[in-house]
Structures are given as C-alpha cells and as structure tokens.
C-alpha cells in the first residue's frame, strides 16, 4: 500500500511529529522511509566581506543538515524501519518543488510532513510549504500538526532517547 514514504525534515517540532507518524506507519506496514532535508543557500549579501561569512553559514547549514538527517535516520532504524536520506541544496527555490520532485524520482506512495497550521496573515507572510506540496503532489500527503499533547510526548521521547 505505502511501500515508499517520503518525509521532509527540517529540525522543527512539527517536522519531528511528521517523522514520528511516518515511522509508525512504516513500522506497521513494512514500508521504507526516505528522509529529505533542503538547505536553502539563498543569502542576501550586502557590503564588503559578506561573501566570506556567507560561505561559513552555508557550511554550517550543510553540517546541520547532515546531523539532522543522521539523527532522524537513527530514530527510524531503532524502530526497525529501513531508511535512506537525501540532502538537497537550493538557491532560493521552493522547498515544495524539491519535495515533490524527490517523491517522483523515488516512486513514493505517500508523503508525510509536519505543518504549523498557520492561518490568516501569518500564513500569507510566511507561506506554506506543506500547502504547496498538497497542491502539486501526485501522491497522497499526510500533514501532521504539532499539538501541545504531541509536543509533550515528543519532548519525552527525545529526552528518553538522549
């Protein structure tokens, strides 16, 4: 049914909740998970010397992405779920486009991702990668919201794993 599940991760609480749901689904169905992290290298440079600092920031973003993917993969493997990971580097393009393209390339059956559930002006100002994925994906998308109950359980799980 859902043999291949794509899970975008970004280090946020909502992303972790999406990962947790994907792991539950994958463990119960014997599915595989592909983790995707997008490093957005779009940096406004202003003034002399900004490029030097930008290269340091990009290196830090890459290192952070590698660490995040490794931690997420370890969490899935502890539950017996087969996983692999992909880090994509972007120059300001939409994360949704990369997520949907990765889903197409890997023949995904389901995309599971966290969503902040923003509404109103905040949603207009910040946009919604999750909403964009839902609109353009050709496979089912499960959006997982971070609720106070989920956050509490997540924090306990993270503390127990540490």
Per-residue model confidence as pLDDT tens digits over 149-160? 544 444 455 445
Q: What is the pLDDT of residues 62-115, one digit of tens each?
A: 999 999 999 999 999 999 999 999 999 987 778 999 999 999 999 999 999 998
Q: What is the pLDDT of residues 107-136, one digit of tens each?
A: 999 999 998 755 544 444 334 788 899 999
In the chain, the percentage of residues whose pLDDT exceeds 70 is 74
Looking at residue 147, its pLDDT comes to 67
Q: Can you give the chain as a three-state secondary structure string?
A: CCCEEEEECCCCHHHHHHHHHHHHHHHHHCCEEEEEEEEECCCCCCCCCHHHHHHHHHHHHHHHHHHHHHHHHHHHHHCCCEEEEEEEEECCCCHHHHHHHHHHHCCCCEEEEEECCCCHHHHHHHCCHHHHHHHHCCCCEEEEECCHHHHHHHHHHHHHHC
Looking at residue 4, its pLDDT comes to 98
Confidence of residue 1 (pLDDT cuts 50, 70, 90): confident
The first and second tokens of residue 125, run together, are 């100002």
**This prediction's pTM:** 0.80
Looking at residue 93, its pLDDT comes to 79
Looking at residue 136, its pLDDT comes to 95
At residue 67's C-alpha, the angle toward residues 65 and 68, to 5°, is 65
Looking at residue 158, its pLDDT comes to 47
| Structural domains in the chain (count) | 1
d(CA 107, CA 127): 27
Q: Which residue range is the domain that position 118 belongs to?
A: 4-161
Where is pLDDT greater, at 8 or 43?
8
Looking at residue 162, its pLDDT comes to 43
The first and second tokens of residue 76, run together, are 């899935």
- CATH number for the domain spanning 154: value is 3.40.50.620
């Amino acid at each position: 049914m859902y043999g291949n599940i794509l899970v975008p991760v970004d280090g946020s609480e909502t992303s972790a909740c999406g990962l947790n749901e994907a792991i539950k689904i994958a463990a119960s169905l014997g599915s595989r998970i592909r983790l995707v992290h997008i490093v957005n290298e779009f940096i406004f440079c202003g003034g002399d010397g900004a490029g030097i600092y930008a290269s340091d920031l990009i290196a830090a973003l890459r290192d952070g992405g590698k660490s995040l993917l490794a931690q997420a993969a370890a969490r899935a493997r502890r539950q017996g779920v087969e996983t692999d990971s992909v880090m994509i580097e972007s120059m300001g393009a939409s994360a949704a486009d990369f997520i949907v393209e990765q889903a197409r390339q890997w023949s995904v059956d389901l995309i599971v991702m966290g969503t902040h559930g923003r509404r109103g002006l905040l949603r207009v100002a910040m946009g919604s990668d999750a909403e964009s994925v839902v609109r353009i994906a050709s496979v089912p998308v499960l959006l997982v919201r971070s609720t106070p109950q989920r956050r509490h359980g997540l924090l306990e799980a993270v503390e127990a794993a540490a």
